[in-house]
Amino acid sequence: MLTKDKKQDLIKQYKSHTKDTGSAEVQVALLTERINSLSDHFKIHKKDFHSRRGLLSMVGKRRRLLEYLKSNNLKKYQSLIQKLDLRK
């Protein structure tokens, strides 16, 4: 579960300006944190298929946001991938 304090910390870490709460970088960071917590949840609850569907939709949304970021700003995309340790 993503607590209010953890969410605020992630927003502070990935924001691009003072009032930024919804940029692609922030959204990807928040989705990544939720995906990681759900992955831990599935180690205990193997048959929770309803939550698995939500997980798959979050993964798809994160993928679309990353594609958008890659097409518009490659440097931000690469730094975000490296910070979040997502791939390659």
Every domain of the chain and the residues it spans: 4-12+19-84
pLDDT tens-digit profile of 16-65? 999 988 999 999 999 999 999 999 999 999 999 999 999 999 999 999 99
- pLDDT band at 2; cut points 50, 70, 90: confident
Instruction: Look up residue 60 and give its two tokens.
Output: 């798809």
* Overall fold of domain 4-12+19-84: Helix Hairpins (1.10.287)
- Per-residue pLDDT at 21: 85
Q: Which residue matches tokens 């759900």? A: 38
pTM of the model: 0.90
Q: Per-residue pLDDT tens for 71-82?
A: 999 999 999 999
The CB-side HSE value for 44 (13 A sphere, CA atoms) comes to 4
For residues 26 and 37, what is the distance between their CA atoms, to the nearest angstrom? 17
Alpha helix positions (H), 15-73: 24-44, 49-72
The amino acid that residue 77 corresponds to is Y
